[in-house]
Amino acid sequence: MVKPPVVKPSKVTVKKTVVEVRVIAFKKRTVTDSSLAKGEKVVTTTGVNGSRRLIYEVTFVDGVQTAKELLRDVVAKQPRTQVTAVGTKVEESESSECDPNYSGGCVPIASDVDCSGGSGDGPAYVRGPVTVVGNDVYGLDRDKDGLGCED
């Protein structure tokens, strides 16, 4: 008796187009800003991730992947760089805003300074008493005893 030939089942080959989406991470950049106080940080532009689409042709033989070929690589959305401003402005100290001819209180540097509660017309005022340590440029020590705005 002759055996019938063994027929091997044919392999099933399937090709599919597969799309993968990948994230493109945003970059970060730091810039200096002279209008911000030294060391202060402000995000001026928020970073946004982008995305790319990778299009492949994938071959399966009997349900098992045997090949993967990149057909196209397309940037679907460009990432946006995050920008952070860092301040460089050095704040002036309070002492530079006060007249060095007086101590015991801050006498502002202005075109005219008068004692608070007095009859002067400003534009700046000081609450006393203050000690005259230099020239009494604003005439705050009316009785010349070294103290201004003592009433």
Task: Identify the pLDDT of residue 94.
Answer: 46
Reduced 3-state DSSP string for 7-30: CCCCCCEEEEEEEEEEEECCCEEE
For residue 71, give the nearest of 20, 22, 23, 24 by alpha carbon.
20
**For 60-117, how does the pLDDT look when each residue is reduced to its tens digit (9 = 90+)?**
999 999 999 999 999 999 999 999 999 988 765 544 688 989 888 889 888 899 988 7
* Separation of alpha carbons 109 and 34, rounded Å: 25
**What domains appear along the chain, each with residue ranges and CATH number?**
13-89 (2.20.230.10), 92-151 (no CATH)
Report which of residues 4 and 118 the model is more confident about: 4
Average pLDDT over the chain, rounded to an integer: 89
Average pLDDT for residues 110-128, to the nearest whole number? 83
